[in-house]
């Protein structure tokens, strides 16, 4: 497995785990960390032995956002040429499900990274926020769009314009996270969920993720048409035949990912 400077990678059965690993900087997302994260996610995405992934930080910080020290003196053009927004976009092109296991601070780009994931398991200490306004900017990795779609305009405005943090229970109440568990359990809970999904029919999981994500991009009619095509496509897989045969024969299916 590749040795990285800013992240650690592990596998747990069919789950690929990425730990953001700059604890001295609250896991600030410097360019190198983002490049390594993308490389690790792509490697897991291409590996048939992996069915789902987790991104996590440590108990105190999932991530405190983009590296302020790295970007403080950059010009607009330098920032644009660094291609960071391409990196963020590429994370959203990963096919397999990604779960964010969040404890402590998920701020700025850290909150946006969690939002880029498909599901979020939060510890009771998780805090979500977009504090960019306090340093004279706004979210730059999707926060104004993805938060607004999940939380609605009123709360997103308060977070973006006035640094309103969401505690874990508020995030749960507003549908930002899947569940909240005690701090000592959040990674195990994420591993359990990822493990269950990784054991399911791989092609159906991929197309299911794609179809749900399309709900954010397309009109209802276009989204429904895309869903129908994906549904029909699954009838060309061996796993569909196996899944339905196993149901009729009252046995567990054996997935091939074909």
10 is catalytic: no
Does residue 25 bind ligand CAA (CB under 6 A)?
Answer: yes
Does residue 202 bind ligand CAA (CB under 6 A)?
Answer: no
Does residue 6 bind ligand CAA (CB under 6 A)?
Answer: no
Q: Residue 103 and residue 209: Cα distance in Å, rounded? A: 24
Q: Residue 32 and residue 6: Cα distance in Å, rounded? A: 7
- Rule CB under 6 A: choose which of 16, 51, 109, 208 binds ligand CAA: 109
Give the interface size with ligand CAA as a residue count (CB under 6 A): 21
CB-based closest residue to ligand CAA = 108
Does residue 36 bind ligand CAA (CB under 6 A)?
Answer: no
Q: Enumerate residues 6+ apart whose C-beta is below 8 A from 121.
A: 99, 100, 101, 102, 177, 178, 179, 181, 186, 189, 190, 193
136 is catalytic: no
- Rule CB under 6 A: choose which of 16, 51, 108, 208 binds ligand CAA: 108
Q: Taking CB under 6 A as the criterion, which residues in 48-67 touch ligand CAA?
A: 64-67
Q: Toward ligand CAA, which CB reaches closer, 9 or 130? A: 130
Residue of 50, 39, 127 lying closest to 91 (CA atoms)? 39
Looking at 16, 109, 140, 143, which residue is catalytic?
A: 109
- Rule CB under 6 A: choose which of 131, 151, 171, 201 binds ligand CAA: 131
CA contacts within 13 A on the Cβ side of 129: 19
CA contacts within 13 A on the Cβ side of 4: 22
Query: How far is the CA of 109 from the CAs of 25, 55, 93, 257, in angstroms?
Result: 14, 14, 18, 34
204 is catalytic: no
User: Which neighbouring-strand residues pair with 102?
Assistant: 122
Stretch that binds ligand CAA, among 22-30, 74-82, 179-187, 248-256 (CB under 6 A): 22-30
The H-or-E segment that residue 11 falls in is strand 7-12
Does residue 140 bind ligand CAA (CB under 6 A)?
Answer: yes
257 is catalytic: no
Residue of 18, 31, 115 lying closest to 66 (CA atoms)? 31
Binding site for ligand CAA (CB under 6 A): 25-26, 28, 64-69, 105, 107-109, 112, 131-132, 135, 139-141, 143
Catalytic residue annotation: 66, 109, 112, 132
């Amino acid at each position: 497995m590749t040795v990285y400077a800013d992240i650690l990678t592990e596998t747990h059965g069919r789950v690929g785990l990425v730990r953001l690993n700059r604890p001295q900087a609250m896991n600030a997302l410097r360019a190198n960390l983002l490049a390594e994260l993308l490389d690790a996610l792509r490697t897991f995405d291409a590996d048939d032995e992996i069915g789902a992934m987790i991104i996590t930080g440590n108990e105190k910080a999932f991530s405190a956002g983009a590296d302020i020290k790295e970007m403080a003196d950059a010009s607009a053009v330098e920032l644009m040429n660094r291609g960071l927004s391409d990196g963020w976009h590429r994370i959203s092109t990963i096919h397999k499900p990604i779960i964010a296991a969040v404890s402590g601070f998920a701020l700025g780009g850290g909150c946006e990274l969690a939002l880029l994931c498909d599901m979020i398991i939060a510890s009771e200490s998780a805090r979500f926020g977009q504090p960019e306004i306090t340093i004279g900017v706004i979210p730059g990795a999707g926060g104004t769009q993805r938060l607004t779609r999940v939380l609605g305009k009123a709360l997103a405005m308060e977070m973006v314009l006035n640094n309103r943090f969401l505690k874990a229970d508020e995030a749960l109440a507003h549908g930002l996270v899947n569940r909240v568990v005690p701090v000592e359990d959040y990674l195990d809970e994420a591993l359990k969920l990822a493990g269950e999904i990784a054991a399911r029919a791989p092609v159906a999981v991929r197309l299911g993720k794609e179809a749900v994500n399309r709900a954010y991009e397309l009109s209802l009619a276009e989204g429904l048409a895309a869903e129908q095509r994906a549904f029909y496509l699954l009838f060309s897989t061996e796993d569909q035949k196996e899944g339905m045969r196993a149901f009729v024969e009252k046995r567990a299916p054996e997935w091939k990912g074909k």
